[in-house]
Amino acid sequence: MVPLLLVTVVAVRHHGVLADGFSRLRAAEWPWLLAAAGATCLTWVAAAFTRQGAVVERLPRRRLLAAQFAAGAANHLLPTGLGASAVNLRFMTVCGIPLARSSAALALYLLAESVTRLALLAGLLLAFPGALRLGPLLPHDAMGPLLYAAGAVVVAAAAVLAGVRRLRRAVASFLRTALGELRSVHARPSRALALWGGALAFPALQAAGLALVGRALELPVPAVHTAVAYLAATVAVALVPTPGGVGSVEAALVLALVAAGGPAAVATAVVVAYRVITVWLPLLPGALTLGALVRMKVI
């Protein structure tokens, strides 16, 4: 019942976004919206492939796919991906994988997803250098403070590791386990293909979903430019600790679509409709699936 209660709270807090999104959907071209919904469903399949590729043991396929659907709902109720990580960590431990190796597999999944997302964004920017115009959105003197802040975080983390011996040992032990898991997975071509192929397909399908919604609402931005805008926006908000990125993702996507050349009003409509399809429509069935998997002791 807790996931259902949280869904209700989140829906009440964002009822204006929901109402606006559903009103936008009524005026859209439905074939393109159905294609966007199909791309959203395929993201759960891609996530299941990536999770399987991160471990050597064979995981039960149907339960793995159901866990990804439930993890999506949990991810929108807890900050910064903690919900999906907790669901998948519990799922792997229930499947008999030790906690240390499950944690290493989770880290490997996050690494693969981050690397492929950044690589896909870099590749598209190299192929289409004019896809995103950040000049009007990013102040000229903003890059320096951002780099200094990132450097300060790295230095602070290194200082903490150097000063706390117990933490240093725990990190070293985790890294050894993670490297061992990395070697074991890449010793099996099928696992490596599932890991990196699923990690690449996941952001590609998400970007395709936004492009399809843009086509449904007649956004005057090429599909590739829309994909670049999506990838850039999601990379930018990756560290914002909001549940499911609600609020921060919408703002970043609107700014990115405007930077790609879209009118602000149409870009807002596209983003709201896209978030209804990818977040709000699956949220209640995902929460029900999460509760069922907990009761069945799958997680």
- Cα(65)–Cα(257) distance, rounded to whole angstroms? 32
Reported as a pLDDT band with limits 50, 70 and 90, residue 188 is very high
Per-residue pLDDT at 142 = 47
30 is written with which tokens?
């439905």
Please answer whether residues 209 and 39 qualify as being in contact, where contact means their C-beta atoms are separated by less than 8 angstroms: yes
Q: Does the pLDDT value for residue 38 go beyond 90?
A: yes
Give pLDDT tens digits for 220-269.
889 999 999 899 888 877 655 555 555 567 777 888 888 888 887 788 88
- Cα(39)–Cα(276) distance, rounded to whole angstroms? 14
Give pLDDT tens digits for 95-110.
999 988 898 899 899 8
Q: What is the number of other CB atoms lying within 10 angstroms of the CB of residue 216?
A: 24
Q: Does the pLDDT value for residue 18 go beyond 80?
A: no
18-22, 134-138, 253-257, 286-290 — which is least confidently predicted? 134-138
199 is written with which tokens?
């990690």
Please answer whether residues 273 and 216 qualify as being in contact, where contact means their C-beta atoms are separated by less than 8 angstroms: yes
Q: Does the pLDDT value for residue 173 go beyond 50?
A: yes
Please answer whether residues 16 and 292 qualify as being in contact, where contact means their C-beta atoms are separated by less than 8 angstroms: no
Per-residue pLDDT at 94 = 93
Please answer whether residues 68 and 47 qualify as being in contact, where contact means their C-beta atoms are separated by less than 8 angstroms: yes
Per-residue pLDDT at 233 = 84
Predicted TM-score (pTM) of this structure: 0.80
Reported as a pLDDT band with limits 50, 70 and 90, residue 37 is very high
